[in-house]
Amino acid sequence: MGEVRNMTKLYNIKSQKNIRKALRSQQVGYEILLWKKLKSKQTGYKFRRQFGIGKYVVDFYCPKLKFAIEIDGSTHCTKEELENDNIRQNFLENLGIEVKRYLNGDVYSNTELILMDIINTCKKLAKTPPNLSTPC
């Protein structure tokens, strides 16, 4: 029972609900493009968008596989942002979460390659790969 209570405090913290909701409504083109490929279990796994983990909100998250996907734009190139990204990534990895980062420009130009990398990561993390009826 204590573990469930701690999970509730770690994932999608209630006080961050408005932040997550605002981020979902303000998604930019590359996030929308990737979400169209991830939603409704098209990869064989359920992903959530703008999912809260601790004080952070990840772009996409598969709870079953403990797999987070982050899409980085040009703001992630400054020294300060790179340090923040490293702290964030270490926090997530210490929780046993696999984190994959992609550049937003690559989402546009290499959508299918990124999707295949995501699916391959899902298969690697899964005990049993999903049964996909159609290839991506």
Determine the pLDDT at residue 87. 95
Lowest-confidence pick of 20-24, 76-80, 87-91: 20-24
Domains assigned to the chain: 2-125 (3.40.960.10)
**What pTM does this model have?**
0.78
pLDDT tens column, 30-47: 788 999 999 999 889 999
User: Both tokens of residue 99?
Assistant: 């984190």
Judge whether residue 100 has pLDDT over 80: yes
